[in-house]
Chains A and B, each alone.
Chain A
Amino acid sequence: MDRSHILSRRSLLTAGLSSASLLALNACASIPSNGAVNHYADSRADSATQNSEITPEGPQPGASPEEIIRGFFHAGIGPDNDYEVARRFLTDDLSESWRPDARTLIHTNSLSVTAEPDEEGRFRATVPATTEIDEVGLATSFAEESTEYLLFNLTQVQGEWRISQAPDGLVLEQSEFEQSFDSFTLYFYDPTFTYAVPDVRWFADRSSVATSIVRVLLQGPAPYLLDAVRSALPENTSLTRNSVPINGTSAEVSLQGSNISPDMSQLDIERINSQLTQTLELVSGIESVTLLFDDQPVTTNALDNYIEPRVNPVVSQNVVGVDGSTLRIRSEVLNRESQQTVYSTSEGDMVHTAMGYNRQVFSYLSSDLSSVYLIKNSESRVVLQGSEFCTPSFDQFQWMWVAEADATLHLVSLAGNDFATDEVQADWLDGARVSALRIARDGSRAAIVAESEGSSFLWISGVRRNADNKPEELIQPVRIATNFEISDARWTSDQSLVVANYQTGESELVYLSGEQSEISQLDSLTQVAACIGGDQVIAQTANQGIYMLVDRTWSRIETATHDFSYSG
């Protein structure tokens, strides 16, 4: 080995060692701690932000204060982005705090805007309101236009007028209201959770309406149903996040509260699920509900023998009618062959018939409307004596209701054979003349037609029962507007009634939402009867002509039987 050879081997060794050590340092890789910005995905497919396609105009440059106020009212038809357009009419301060959902005033005539004298920048809007929607969506129609005075302060912001002080709420004209609002139904239940009781509310139709509905549902039923219905949702329950997002067609409802826990009985959970589902199914785009308690998913549909409360149950189409002096029952009004005899009387005529839901009990009035007969077990007996009774009405808890014209509401117990009678309290009816009292299929609401101060009213009132489900009181009611004076009303579904004026022969369908549907007039109309939920309405004229409602017109039925009545 000579020197040069050693040197080259040495340098080779050095090179090898240094490169190995360099590699060794790099050999220990690590999680990257820097890097470029990378794009993962495009923005998610547009979630269900349905824009209502109404976009009102914002404030015009150089608008006068009155124009600003009117524009502001009109902007109430565009709820997108939390009434973003309407807020443009406001100063920045007010736009942060103004709450459009406090109430909604609906007017039909033009409102007027005037400047307040002696006060710079202060204006008054005079609104002849016909309906008011409150914070929870309850609509109240005024019998007469109720004039509301709304005060505004306006200031100049960068040369333009802007509202600096305004009352919370919207002011909409009727057509504007119909354009931007929609009715929604909340469901509550009778005390036995057998039937669903609808509670109609109005909300601005926007993507967040599901949240509003659930929020309002949690606050409980309308005043006229309070104590009459039960909610499956316990007290002090709230949404975890004030938001009900819709994933696909499923609405995600996350609840929290002192009475909410995953340890609740499965029955309670199922009922909550039913209530939410039945309520939210009516919102377009929602087909099911995902229930969570405190963000933890809850199993539903896990109870084998759970029967959901029925929405708008259909009453059977069996009718009871009078043929001469015999009370007959048919499976269907047109099916003569199915006719069977219920009872034959020997004493006078039978008028204003009524039938229980199990078709085992029947009732009728004497022709002078002073006696109420009850047929049970093929025996007839007088259960009430008075004057000017209305057609009796049955409920599912074995009670028969009969109203007297002097606003006495009688109860007859159908359990056993005692037929004890009682009265139901209704302080608000005092002084009125009752012409109809009909109990809804759910047994929690009563429709009353009463006349006071020269006008007739259709009231819907909740039925407060005691622990044994015995009716005790009719709660302060809500009024359903009708287009004419009415004499009688019958439930046609859980949310609609047919009302009739026996003097003029006018009749129409009215809905709990306040809508009305015209029916052609029938001369000398004396009686109406309806199959609840069954889409069948029968009318009777003075000469005992029987008519059936087909497409809003009456068509005659040939039959000798008269005074028909469905269960209910």
Chain B
Amino acid sequence: MSREQETKEGSSAEAGLLSDDAAAEKPLGAGRVGSPQKESAEVDISKAPELSWRHPIRRARYLWRTSLQFGAVASAGLLLAIAFVFVGYFLSHQIANSLFQGRLDQALEESSNGFTNVQTLLDSSDSTGRAEIQQDVLRIVTVLEASGSDSEKQWILIPGSSADEGFISEQSQNDQLSSDDVPQALQDSVNSSEGIFWQSSTLEQNGVEEPALFVGSSISIPQNPNYGLYLVYNLSSSQQTLNYINVVVGLAFGILLLVVLSIVWVVTRMVIRPLSSTAITAEKLAGGDLGQRVIVRGHNETSRLGRSFNKMADSLQDQIYRLETLSTMQQRFVSDVSHELRTPLTTVRMAAEMLYDGRDEMAPSYKRPTELLYNQVDRFDSLLSDLLEISRFDAGSAKLDATSVDFMAVVNDVLLAVEPHLIRTSTELRMHAPSSPITVEMDHRRIERVLRNLFFNAVEHSESQPIDVYIATSETAVGIAVRDHGIGLSREQIKQVFNRFWRGDPSRKRTLGGTGLGLSIAAEDVALHRGTLEAWGELGEGACFRMTLPLKQDIPMGASPVLLTGDSVDGPTPISAKIPRVSLDDDIDRIDSEPEEEN
């Protein structure tokens, strides 16, 4: 079990039977109970299909983290876009400036000449009388229409601001232009001082506001106060030119951006593709398909990577094959040996049994050796069975034969078996269990063996103190704790309790047999069920062994429904069952599917 889960269980020991936190915590791995949980986001590729285009930002973030190509293209695109925006900004403003400045200079030059012309014509006219002067003014102002190359130029004559008004009304080149179109600030400047003034503003034509340039100067008309003569230049053509240039530049930049991104994409692809195909092959290899190899093309660095990967895979495959062969050989040897041993052993056992049965008719000096012989042969037989069993576990060829069985029925069977010994030792056994059946998917033969081991151990070590058995279930697990109040075990002993051939007190008389491999085999059996077997002990207080099994093999177990200690004593860090590792060669990486040890 992971450290996290165990600490949570430790705290929950105070809280109550069920631990919600532990139940609530969902491991990040997909249904792999007890698998190592690394801190936060290791990206799970299998999650990718869930993200759809409806969450583009999430998908983009996902792509950014998983795809180097996407990252390269995205950052290139972003930087390039920023650069283009700056350059485009600069370009656009320079062009606008130059266009406008050019038009402005031309317009001012034209206007200056035009105004001078008009004033000279007015000064040289010999008209007298209102009607003549009025007619003159109208004809003279038309000089502004003829001269100059700009057809987007219009004149407008507006009375000045003096109190006494002249007799010439406001005139303009076309009816749409009126004094409202000329900015008031410009009119004020023209009316108040001599000289030519200009201002940028907008002009409404056909409902559209267009940029326009207003140039004005005051002119003097005979028998009238000064008037303001204005020339209005419509700059919409310049604006259109500018817009066109902007569009062209924008398009050009856009195309350039696309081209650069394509280049980046192609270049990174050259690097990434071999890398990612190597990664995929490695994943397949890790998944168990040892025949996977990388397709190698060319002679560059990535092909070198591919080649070395392939060599590594070859070597791995080779080693594993050898391992497997070795394991098979070993297993067969053990099996063969045990079978071979069994044959003479059976004979010896039969003989010993016969002798044992007839011990009462033997000479008193042969009685004891016959008992000894019978017991030791019996023990030899058990040891042989246990050894065979252990060797199967070590070779990894132990099989779980799981069926849905009533857990309580199995417990009852074991209780029946242990009952004579309870009577014999006058030990009280107290059951704390639900009355209803508990259906568990398990190998009942193995679990029975485990329970038998736990109970017999408890009886052995309880010193006639009562034994408490606690059984409880959660939604996902069933737990049983066997608590004796006998000699107990120290912390150091607890650490070694699951070791092979370990005896707490070597001098202790074994009344119930035992090969020293019982707990080890029990631990292996429980581990095969993906359950947990934990021990607790306190010298002089007793010991408690807790087994937790998942109700169904495909559902994660969660926390144990039973307390480890059975008491309200602070739960010390329990010792979990430590499964011995197969160690063939130090260099080969361990295939670690078991929980880590923690201390």
Measured CB to CB, the residues of A under 8 A from B are 1-3, 6, 10, 13, 16-17, 20, 23-24, 26-44, 47-49, 81-84, 87, 95-101, 206-212, 215, 240-247, 295
Contacts and interface: CB of A to CB of B under 8 A. Distances in A.
Given A83-B128, A246-B124, A47 B116 contact: yes
Contacts of B81: 20
Contacts of B86: 23
A554 to B, nearest CB: 45
Contacts of B126: 101, 206, 208-209, 211-212, 215, 242
B130 to A, nearest CB: 4
B196 A30 contact: no
A99 B128 CA distance: 6
A97 B167 CA distance: 12
B242 A210 contact: no
Given A33-B212, A35-B199, 8 more contacts: A27-B88, A27-B92, A38-B199, A40-B112, A43-B194, A82-B128, A211-B125, A245-B120
A39 B195 contact: yes
Interface of B: 40-41, 61, 65, 78, 81-82, 85-86, 88-89, 92-93, 95-97, 99-100, 108, 111-112, 115-117, 119-133, 135-136, 139-140, 143, 146, 167, 183, 185-186, 189, 194-202, 209-212, 215, 217, 222-223, 235, 238-239, 242-243, 246, 250
A29 B95 contact: yes
B130 A30 contact: no
**Interface-central residue, A38, A83, A244, by most chain B CB under 10 Å:** A38
Nearest to B95: A29
Contact of B124 (A2, A10, A37, A207): A207
13 contacts: A27-B89, A32-B211, A33-B210, A34-B200, A35-B201, A37-B197, A40-B215, A49-B123, A82-B133, A82-B223, A242-B136, A243-B121, A243-B122
Query: What 3 pairs between A and B have smallest CB-CB spacing?
Result: A29-B96, A96-B130, A245-B120
A241 B143 contact: yes
Contact of A245 (B121, B132, B133, B185): B121
B274 to A, nearest CB: 24
A43 B116 CA distance: 9
A48 B211 contact: no
A151 to B, nearest CB: 20
A37 B201 CA distance: 10
Nearest to A35: B200
B40 to A, nearest CB: 7
A40 B213 CA distance: 13
A207 B96 contact: no
Contact of A244 (B117, B124, B217): B124
B93 A29 contact: yes
Contact of B112 (A20, A41, A98, A206): A41
Contacts of B197: 37-40
Nearest to A27: B89
Contacts of B121: 241, 243, 245
B231 to A, nearest CB: 12
A156 B445 CA distance: 143
Nearest to B237: A31
B41 A30 contact: no
A33 B200 contact: yes
B89 A44 contact: no
A282 B95 CA distance: 54
B96 A30 contact: yes
B146 A82 contact: no
A37 B136 contact: no
B244 to A, nearest CB: 11
A28 B140 contact: no
B336 to A, nearest CB: 55
Nearest to B111: A40
A33 B201 contact: yes
A16 B131 CA distance: 69
A29 B242 contact: yes
A101 B183 CA distance: 41
Contact of B139 (A84, A207, A209, A240): A240
A210 B65 contact: no
Given A82-B128, A83-B128, A246 B120 contact: yes
Nearest to A207: B123
Contact of A28 (B115, B122, B195, B246): B246
Given A20-B85, A97-B130, A243-B136, A28 B92 contact: yes
Nearest to B141: A241
Nearest to B41: A1
A31 B211 contact: yes
Given A39-B195, A40-B215, A243 B189 contact: no
Contacts of A16: 78, 82
A222 B238 CA distance: 57
Contact of A40 (B40, B131, B195, B239): B195
A4 to B, nearest CB: 11
Contact of A96 (B97, B129, B139, B183): B129
A33 B246 contact: no
A43 B212 CA distance: 23
B186 A37 contact: yes
A241 B136 contact: yes
Nearest to B238: A31
Given A40-B196, A207-B124, A31 B117 contact: no
B51 to A, nearest CB: 16
Contact of B217 (A43, A97, A211): A43
A2 B167 contact: no
Contacts of A33: 200-202, 209-212
A34 B210 CA distance: 11
Nearest to B132: A242
B162 to A, nearest CB: 15
A33 B29 CA distance: 63
A28 B94 CA distance: 11
